[in-house]
Amino acid sequence: LRVTTEDLFSRLPGQPDEIILAVGSDWFHIDGDQHATTKGTPQDTDGSPAEIMVTGCELARDHINLLRQVAPVKVVLMAGNHDRSNALGLLLFLAAWFKDAVDVDVVHNFQPRVYLTYGTTLMGFHHGDQTPIAKLGTCMATECREEWGATRHHIFFGGHLHHEHVQEIGGIKHYQMPSLAGTDRYHSRKGYVDSIPGLAAYLVDKKRGVTATLFSPVMKGLS
């Protein structure tokens, strides 16, 4: 994570006003005290549930400390289907840890879809396992009526599927983000081995919306 983040930093075209970080999105891979998802599907893990929870929170904290060296950080929740409760715990942990930090803003919004406005762009964040992409434009226009009318660019960021894909649909542009995760037993057996793991950053201009995407692939032996 540090290597790919620093690689993205090295290719920034200038100093950003802020960095928006979506946390969660199957960050812990499992939920609760069993080696299973929120719905109870068994998962391959390396470590006990307690170890994964603690180290996951500490890694997210350290990542934010790295990001804030470049620009103020705004944190939003993107709770995933693997670890919906643990993701909420992560957001509460980060809110408590950075409660006195003037350059870290943890947004207390625990809804399935979280919205932020930057300049002329209205951004939505969702994991991608619940709301169909075709309905996101209607959701955004309904849940953020004033912001929708006051902005020109309407975009959504999603995770869940571990590969990169961009499409314009229902009045929005949807960015399916890649994943840093490697291939586990389930994905290997199903043949889901062709996605390139890596970290992506999307550059949003105050007037022109998303103007560029940066991608740092995971190199063997690095992360």
Instruction: Look at residue 25 in the predicted model and tell me its pLDDT.
Output: 84
Instruction: Look at residue 180 in the predicted model and tell me its pLDDT.
Output: 84
CA pair distance 94, 97, nearest whole angstrom? 5
pLDDT averaged over every residue in the chain? 91
Instruction: Look at residue 92 in the predicted model and tell me its pLDDT.
Output: 97
Neighbours of 202 (CB within 10 A): 17
Instruction: Look at residue 221 in the predicted model and tell me its pLDDT.
Output: 57
Find where tokens 């929708």 sit: 148
Instruction: Look at residue 91 in the predicted model and tell me its pLDDT.
Output: 97
Q: To the nearest 10°, report the CA torsion of 69, 54, 178, 76.
A: -60
Quote the distance between the C-alpha of residue 190 and its chain's center. Answer: 24
Q: Using CA of residue 60, residue 184, residue 112, residue 178, what is the dihedral sign?
A: positive
Instruction: Look at residue 193 in the predicted model and tell me its pLDDT.
Output: 60
Instruction: Look at residue 163 in the predicted model and tell me its pLDDT.
Output: 76
* DSSP three-state, residue 178: coil
Ranges assigned E (strand) in the chain = 19-24, 73-78, 104-106, 114-118, 121-125, 153-158, 165-169, 172-176, 198-205, 209-217
Instruction: Look at residue 164 in the predicted model and tell me its pLDDT.
Output: 86
CB 13 within 8 A of CB 203: yes
CB 155 within 8 A of CB 125: no
CA pair distance 62, 14, nearest whole angstrom? 23
N-to-C CA span, the chain: 5
CB 82 within 8 A of CB 31: yes
CA pair distance 177, 159, nearest whole angstrom? 5
Tens of pLDDT, residue by residue over 29-38, are: 899 898 998 8
Residues of the chain with pLDDT below 70 are 162, 182-194, 221-223
